Structure 1
Amino acid sequence: MKNGNHYLSDKECELCVLGTLLLERNAIHQVRELLTPNSFYFDFHREVYCAIIAMTDRGERADVLSIGPELSKRRVAYKPYDIVEVSQNSTFDITQYACRLFDLEKRRKFYDLGQYLIANGTSECEDIEDVLQATNDRLSAIFGDTVKHIRTATDYLTEVVEQVNNNLSGQNIPGTPTGF
């Protein structure tokens, strides 16, 4: 994922998020929807996050002691000092730091898209319609996963009104009829 834009990373922020994930029992549940492995610019940090996710998915607790064997199982080269470096960082506001990593990940994707446009906008090797379609697809993918989670009150009210109308007309009433 490295693209030469080291300024689109924040090592201390990554360390704080990972350290908090290893030190606080339920921290992963606060940030799992925001973060992906690509939210971490540094390879070792990405691997630690993947190990935490794998352990969590198996119902195990990822902490300072259990992360080492998981990294070894995943064939990640590390020294015990690397885990100590991660674990001595933490924050009380993990969501704020996770939002920063989320933002930096999106900015790296914008940078990559910009590089694609520069390369293909100055060359006639690829059809311009293909460049446009690929650009639209990549731009949509940058925020595509997060947009589907956002709904307005109007969206919910529309569903409620529809359900009330169905109930009044006797259509699709969920549950068992009781006569009330």
Structure 2
Amino acid sequence: MLQPQAPELEETILGACLIEKEGMALVDELLKPEMFYVTRHQLIYAALQAMFHAGTNIDILTATEELRKRGKLDDAGGPFYITQLSSRVASSAHLEYHARIVHQKYIRREMIVGFSKLLTLSGDETIDLTDTLVDAHNLLDRLEGACGHNRQLRDMDTLMQATLVEAEGRMRKNKDGVTGIPTGLTELDKMTGGWQNNDLITIAARPAVGKTAFALHLAKAAAAAGHHTVVYSLEMQGERLGDRWLLSAGE
């Protein structure tokens, strides 16, 4: 059976990390070297991640030198392959999305290996059933943990490096003072700079004072700015939300 894999996306991720300053900051917490399917990609990512944590500038030349110091340059495909990776991507626009796909492929491979082992253990009556159930429980715990963002403790140097890279990215995206997703409300945008990554926004008010209408306005503003938007409601059907959306857009 063909193992779940996405080698082309692995190449794209590595290429983006080589040419984009914020590349590693976007994927560092999500991906580990062993999550790459291709062995040489594991070697390259391990080197890039070590450089990122050490605060070393990452580019084709420094990455090649790091692999050479590790004695892994030939195993990683050599200087030509490293250079070739940088031509696989134009920007890091979809880097996080690509990283999540690679992450999910890794989890599926781990599921195949883990469940195959459990299948064998389940048929072996010489093994205590309780031990097999414990193995099954541990496997599910490990897979569930892997489905998260793999957040790890970071020292202040690493945290501030990632913070500065993110801040520089926001400055480049700055449009009329809005560095995040616009709210559609000028004064609110001035105060917040728009909704930022990882923001959790809570709208609280008395019943029937316009919370849903306000939330729909925010969703419309995000969609109008080109951001994918989804609205869930436990209070009304989709058609009623659609009515309110249409009415808010009418004269």
Q: Same fold (TM over 0.5)?
A: yes
For the aligned residues, what is the CA RMSD? Answer: 2.1
Structure 2 partner of 1:86: 85
- Residue correspondences, number: 147
Structure 1 partner of 2:114: 113
Structure 1 partner of 2:125: 124
How far does residue 108 in structure 1 lie from its aligned partner after superposition? Answer: 0.8
Q: Which runs of 4+ in 1 moved over 4 A?
A: none
Task: Report matched runs for 1:1-180 at 5 Å.
Answer: 6-76=2-72, 77=74, 78-90=77-89, 91=91, 92-144=93-145, 146=148
Note the alpha carbon deviations across 1:29-85, whole angstroms, 9 max, x for none.
Answer: 111121111220111001111000111111101211111111111121232222123
How far does residue 6 in structure 1 lie from its aligned partner after superposition? Answer: 4.2
Change (3 A) 1:148 1:65: closer
Note the alpha carbon deviations across 1:116-174, whole angstroms, 9 max, x for none.
Answer: 1121112224221111101111210112252787xxx7xxxxxxxxxxxxxxxxxxxxx
Tell me, in whole angstroms, the C-alpha distance in 2 between the residues paired with 1:70 and 1:43.
17
Q: How high is the TM-score relative to the length of structure 2?
A: 0.54
Identity of aligned residues (%): 26
How far does residue 24 in structure 1 lie from its aligned partner after superposition? Answer: 0.0
Change (3 A) 1:142 1:121: same
How far does residue 7 in structure 1 lie from its aligned partner after superposition? Answer: 3.7
Tell me, in whole angstroms, the C-alpha distance in 1 between the residues paired with 2:143 and 2:65.
34
SS of residue paired to 1:109: helix
Structure 1 partner of 2:217: none
Tell me, in whole angstroms, the C-alpha distance in 1 between the residues paired with 2:12 and 2:65.
21
Tell me, in whole angstroms, the C-alpha distance in 1 between the residues paired with 2:88 and 2:116.
34
Q: How high is the TM-score relative to the length of structure 1?
A: 0.75
Of Structure 1 and Structure 2, which has the larger fraction of its residues in helix? Answer: 1
Tell me, in whole angstroms, the C-alpha distance in 1 between the residues paired with 2:6 and 2:136.
27
Tell me, in whole angstroms, the C-alpha distance in 1 between the residues paired with 2:128 and 2:107.
27
Which blocks of at least 5 consecutive residues in structure 1 are unaligned?
154-180
User: Which shows bigger deviation, 96-105 or 113-122?
Assistant: 113-122
